[in-house]
Structures are given as structure tokens and as C-alpha cells.
Amino acid sequence: MDSQNSYSVAEAKNQLPALIHKAEKSGPVRLTRRGKPVAVLLSQREYSQLTDPPGAWFDRIMALRESGQLCFEDVDGGEFEGLRDRSPDRPVDL
């Protein structure tokens, strides 16, 4: 997080609506006290990504699919052909 997204608690007190907007549009906003980080202001979307239980992403995908917003009908698998080298002696970086 860069210094442009860092504000003292006193600054945040006076600019809370603007900082909330900034967190929604630009990402996390760090709050400091006496120059030391003490808190981070996150958008609800970012917070949910951090706190959703494992597997919740699958539930969201299935909900999108059931609502018709996500459709796999046009995918036949051919789009993925040749993306992975399946040869047994392929070079591998470890």
C-alpha cells in the first residue's frame, strides 16, 4: 500500500466519507496513529473475499450459473486444447 492511501486517524475522522469512497474505488486505505499502521479500511467486496469460508466461491459461481448470468453452453473444451504440454519429458522449473 503506498503513502497516497495512508491517512492518520485524525485525518480519517474528518474525511471518512471520502476515504470510504476511495476504498471502494481504489483499494485498501491504511490508517495510522503516530505514523504507525493501526487499521485498514476495505471495501465490502475485498472484505468478503478475505472472510468467505472455503468453497464459497463455488457457491457463488453456481448461483450465477443458475441465474443465467454465467453460461457454459458454448464451451466444448476445444478452447483449452494445446494450452498444456502433456509430454512426459517436458522441462519443469523447480
The answer to whether position 83 is within a domain reads no
The answer to whether position 8 is within a domain reads yes
The answer to whether position 13 is within a domain reads yes
Cβ atoms within 10 Å of 7's Cβ, excluding its own: 21
What's 43's domain CATH number? 3.40.1620.10
Q: How many residues does the chain have?
A: 94
Give the domain range for residue 46.
3-67
The answer to whether position 89 is within a domain reads no
| Residue pLDDT tens, the chain, 94 long | 556 789 999 999 999 999 999 999 999 999 999 999 999 999 998 888 788 777 777 887 888 888 877 776 766 667 677 777 778 887 777 7
Task: Give the CA distances from residue 10 to residues 6, 16, 17, 20, 35, in Å, rounded to whole numbers and listed in that order.
Answer: 12, 10, 14, 15, 12
Q: How many domains does the chain have?
A: 1
Helices (H) and strands (E) in the chain, counts: 3, 3
The answer to whether position 92 is within a domain reads no
The answer to whether position 27 is within a domain reads yes
